Structure 1
């Protein structure tokens, strides 16, 4: 799960030069994966931090898509 999240975060950096909204959506998904991975490792503080950040990034990307 961490490898997939790392790949998504690197790919979102490359995608940011093409389309920022898609890059934010992919980075939010990567943060969610990092959060679930940390929760699986019983690291609750970092897990919830990543999950909340991922949800905020996805909500922000969704709002910017609608504008």
Structure 2
């Protein structure tokens, strides 16, 4: 029969395995490493979230502002 220490060890091992599985499923940056507008590095987190991103966040915001001005 398992005691409390065994149960705790099993839960910790399962939590570690789950964390590793989540990490391995996380998308990896595959997009353009630098912004097509300013040339700065596009952060890894942005490239992981939006692999198709071609601009850094500052340039993307600028483009969105310009588009909003043109449309209305």
Q: Structure 2-normalised TM-score?
A: 0.29
Larger CA Rg, structure 1 vs 2: 2
